[in-house]
Every structure is written in C-alpha cells, then in structure tokens.
Structure 1
C-alpha cells in the first residue's frame, strides 16, 4: 500500500529510534510506577495520564521514525501530517501525561532556566509559528531536507518551541503563572492566525514549491537520509515521487496545506471549546454563589 512494500523493515520502522522511544516510555512507566517511592512528593499516577503519555510517544514515533515518516519523504501531504503529529498532537499529550510531582523534579535540574523568557505566551507563539512558517519557505525547506544535521537540529528546535507554545495552555504546575480564560482564548486565536499565512501560501500556490517533492533527482537525494542503500536505485526503479502518489505534485502540495490547517483548527478549536466551557462554568458558579450570599444576607436582615 502506498509503495511501502518496496522498502525494508529498517526503512519502515527505524529500529534504533523505536528502541530509544521504548526506553523513554519504559523509564516513564518505572518512575511513575515502582520507582515513584523514591520521590518524596510522589503521588499515584492515573491510568489516563499514562495513556496520554504513551499516545503522545506513539504519535511522535510514527511521525519521526515509523511509516508516516517515510511517507513524509515521498509525499508532501504526509510530510504535513508528520508536522501535525510531531508539534501539535504529541507535545500536549506527553506534557499532560507527566504528573505534577515529576514536572517539579524535572524542572529542578532545568538547564534552560535562564531562557525562561522564551516561555512567555507571545514570545513562544511567535517563535514556534515563525520557525514553522520559515521552514516551509521553499529554499529553506529543500536545504533542510537535503542536509541531515540541519534536518535533525531544526526538528529538535521546533519540538522544543512547540512545548514552550503549549506550556501557556496546559501549564501543569498549580504554582505556575496561570492566565485567565479570556487570555487563553486570545492566545489560542493568536496561534490559529499566525499559522494561516504559511498554510495559505501552500494551498493557493499555482505551482509546486518544493524540489524535494517534484524534482526526481532532488527527491532521491533527500530519500537517502531515511532509507538504507543507494538512493539512486529509487530513480532506476520508480522514476520519482509520483510513482508513490495518486495525486500530481501540485495537488499533493495543496492537500498537505489543507490537512495541516484542518488539523490545527481541530486541535486548537477543541482547546478553545474546552477553555470556553471551563470559563462559562466558573462564571455560572460565581453567579450562583453571589445569589446565595445575597439570599443569606437578606435572611439575616429580616431576622
């Protein structure tokens, strides 16, 4: 399916990366399970939290080491899916899966503490969305895709900035600075707006933007970083990326932009609905408490 049968097990599943992800997940389960007693402030970690953490790790693995990652080198639409998994879906799940007491232990040895200003809402939003948009400028995207070190470093920086961006919305520390519900809704809208220009340029482009998805020679060179063996064999056997897609490169590009914007709107829209519902409940509860206090005062005055 989608040409995956032409690739080896190692190409499809990235055993080294899979092993690393399994080790991280196993370490998390040990620390939140049998080894939690070594932490003085530890509390039982719910099953829901563990499921969120493992779900986030699974999505991150699929996007950066599993079949979706390989497909992301063959089709732009899947590339945008890897972006959505890696930076919009996986980070909040992983962050929510880490219990508060473990977050405190992690932040005690935080080497990035001097850079805490980067976690300020506006800075974090502009930084993540700016780097994401910059990456999808054609010349920068093709350069990063063709240079392994730049590719890895850029993806790591994007992940870190996505965590900073999400921190404002799901700060798990009660003692941390919590914005008001209205401020959070404004922050969500800001993130939705900041990513729109990049997606719009991709969706409405009248020609293909990226050589790594339209030029067979450049595509084969980029594929050399995610498959074993000589990538020129791909040209001999398949001719180019169009062999693996039922869409033309331009349509594939447009579908990728639409998919990214739709997933972003769905994720942030869901978060917006949640924040609004919490704010609405809080306001109603305060109104009911105020009415109850007024009735109590009236009763006392009457007596």
Structure 2
C-alpha cells in the first residue's frame, strides 16, 4: 500500500528509534512508579495521565520513525502529516502526560531556567516556533535540510524544542507559575493560528511544485538515501522517481499537504481554545460567587 511493500521492515519501522522510544517510556514508568519516592512532593500518577504520555510517545514514533516518516520522503502530504503529528499532537500530549511534581523537580534543577526563561513568553515562543516552521518550508531551505542528514536531525530537534516552548505557554503544567489569564491564552492561541497561515497559503496556492525533493528524481533519490539502505542510485533504476509512489500529481499532493497542516492546526487549536474558555469561564464564575458552595446551596433552599 502506497509503495510500502517495496521497503524492508527496518526501513519502515526504524528499530533503533523504536528501541530509543521504548527506553524513554520505560524510564517514565520507572520514575513515576517505583522511583517516585525519590522526588519531592511526588504523588501517584493517574492512568489517564500515563495514557497521555504513551499516546504522545506513540505519535512521535509513528511520525518520525514509523511508516509515516518513510512516506514523508515520497509524498509531501505525508511529510505534513508527520510534521503535524510531531509538533501539534505529540508535544502537548507529552507535556500533559508528565505529572506536576516531576515538572517541579525539573524546574528546581534546571540550569537554563533563569537565563532562557524568556523564551517561554507567549508571543516570543509563538513567533519562534511558527517562524522556524515557516522558514523550513521555503523551497531552498527545505531541500537543503532534506539533503543533509545532520542538518535535518538538528533542525527537527530545534523545531521540537520550539514546539515545547510554544505549548508550554498555553498549557503551563506548573500551576503556581501560570500567570496568564484565560483571555490572554485565547489571544495567544489565535496568534498561533494566524502566524502559520501565510506558510500554508503559500504551499496551497502555489502554481507549480515547489520542492525538488518531491519532483526531481535525482534529488529525491539522494534524500531517500538517508532513510533506506543501499545505493540511492538503485532507487532511480528501480522506481524512476517519487512519482512511482504518488497517488496524486505533485502539485495536487503539495496542496493537499498544505491543507492537511492547516486542518490539523485549526482542529487542535480550536479544541484547545474551547478547553481554555471553559476553564476560564468556570473560574470567573467561582470568583463572582464569594460564598462557599454549602452556603450558596442553603441560601437557595431558604429563598
């Protein structure tokens, strides 16, 4: 399906990356389980929070190590699915999956907290993440990154860190450090939705394919050489180019990719907007009613 049958198990599932992700997951369960007593203020971690963390790790693995990653080298639309899963789905799940007491422990020993704390400021973190994401999708930069293995790895790591900073400003997992009002958070979410729009629009409305990685057979083969074994030139002899795997014309595939990214962003941020509004509205109502719940209930019965 989609050409996956032409690649080996190792090429589709990246066993080394899978082992790394499993190791991190095992470390999480050890720290939140038998080793939790070593952390100040530790409490039992709910099954729901653990599920969030595992879901985040699974999303990251599928996007960066599973078949979606491989397909992202043959079709631009899958590249965008990989980006959305990595930075809009996996990151917030991982942040929410880590218990508050563990975040507090990390914050106490974090050597960069004071010097780099300004990077978590909402507007700056939004501009940083969306700017790096948009910059990456300029054709010349995208093709350069895809053709240079260590640059590719470094850029993706930087994007991941930037996405953590961006989501941190929205979610702020340490309650006593959450100084943003619900209205401010909603404005910040809207800002993120706006900042990514120009890059998506550029991709969606381009009159021709923008990326040589998905349209030039020689460049495609070189980029594929970083995720499959053997001589990249053999890919050209065997398949001829990326169009062998494409179920759409390259221009259509590119437009679908831009739509997918914007769709993911709109759905996820709209859901987050509803979540923030609900909690903000609930908190505002509680502040408007200074009487304890029992007193309010009794007053209602007497009236």
TM-score, scaled to structure 2: 0.94
Partner of 2:71: 71
* Aligned: 1:198 with 2:204: no
Matching residue of 2:185: 184
Q: Which moved more, 1:281-290 or 1:170-179?
A: 281-290
Whole-Å separation in 1 of the counterparts to 2:269 and 2:282: 20
State the match for 1:146 in structure 2: 147
Q: Is contact 1:171–1:178 with CA below 8 Å preserved after alignment? A: no
For residues 1-303 of structure 1, the aligned pairs below 5 Å read 1-113=1-113, 114-289=115-290
Aligned counterparts of 1:146 and 1:82: Cα–Cα separation in 2: 18
Query: Which has the higher mean CA deviation after the structures are superposed, 167-176 or 182-191?
Result: 167-176
Q: Could you tell me how far 1:279 is from its partner in structure 2? A: 2.0
Partner Cα separation in structure 2 for residue 179 and residue 280 of structure 1: 14
Structure 1 window deviating more from structure 2 (91-100 vs 172-181): it is 172-181
Structure 1: any 5+ residue segments left out of the alignment? 299-303
CA distance in 1, matches of 2:75, 2:146: 13
Quote the Cα distance in structure 2 between the aligned partners of 1:287 and 1:179. Answer: 19
TM-score of the two chains, using structure 1 as the length reference: 0.94
Question: What is the CA-CA distance between 1:39 and the residue it aligns to?
Answer: 1.9
Q: Distance in 2 between matches of 1:267 and 1:62?
A: 18
* CA distance in structure 2 between the partners assigned to 1:108 and 1:219 by the alignment: 46
Native 8 Å contact 2:40 2:101 kept in 1: no
Name the SS for the 2:177 alignment partner.
Answer: coil
Unmatched segments (≥5 aa) in structure 2: none
Matched residues, number: 297
Does the 8 Å CA contact 2:3/2:245 hold for their aligned counterparts? yes
Secondary structure at the counterpart of residue 242 of structure 1: helix
RMSD, aligned CA: 2.0
Q: Secondary structure at the match of 2:247?
A: coil
Deviations, residues 209-253 of structure 1 (Å, cap 9, x unaligned): 000001111000000011111121111111111111110100000
